[in-house]
Amino acid sequence: MSERPHVTPVEIYYEDTDTGGVVYYANYLKYFERARTQLLKSRGVDPAEWVRKGVTFAVTHAEADYRRPAVYGDLIEVETTLTVTRGTRLSFGYIIIRPADGERLVTGRTDMACLNETMRPRRIPDEILTLIT
């Protein structure tokens, strides 16, 4: 699947950092989550609405490769692409850059499983697939 990435800007606040002013590593997963949700919403899929309908997506795998740190005061961008849709699964790729200098900071991936209201795997609804692919 080749597509233009969805770009989500993130401002780095003091609360995002450790005592050295560097973004705490686990926060990048939060940025992935935020960016993934924004990508879905930009295509007409509101995850909260689907949860109310008994359809949810859960992360089954997450990975991040850290190249350079973001620091307090940075403005970063999370470029998100939907890389795989298959049956009950979605995969997203991420590139986090600092636009001020073009530095690539973090790359990553998350895999998601579509679940029903009893948290059992289910096929991704056709309505969602039509909107996101």
Per-residue pLDDT for the chain (133 aa), expressed as one digit of tens each? 557 899 999 999 999 999 999 999 999 999 999 999 999 999 999 999 999 999 999 999 999 999 999 999 999 999 999 999 999 999 999 999 999 999 999 999 999 999 999 999 999 999 999 999 8
Q: 35: alpha, beta or left, given left = phi > 0 and alpha = psi -120 to 50?
A: alpha
| Alpha-carbon span 132 to 17, nearest angstrom | 33
Q: Is residue 1 in some structural domain?
A: no
Q: Is residue 97 in some structural domain?
A: yes
Domain count, the chain: 1
Q: Are 90 and 112 contacting, i.e. CB atoms less than 8 angstroms apart? A: yes
| Alpha-carbon span 111 to 56, nearest angstrom | 13
The pLDDT of residue 133 is 87
CATH assignment of the domain containing 44: 3.10.129.10
| Alpha-carbon span 87 to 122, nearest angstrom | 8
> Which SS3 state, helix, strand or coil, does residue 39 take?
helix
18 is catalytic: yes
The pLDDT of residue 2 is 52
Determine which one of 16, 18, 65, 126 is catalytic: 18
Domain range for 21 is: 6-132
Backbone angles phi, psi at 89, to 5 degrees: -120, 145
Q: Is residue 101 in some structural domain?
A: yes
Q: Is residue 125 in some structural domain?
A: yes
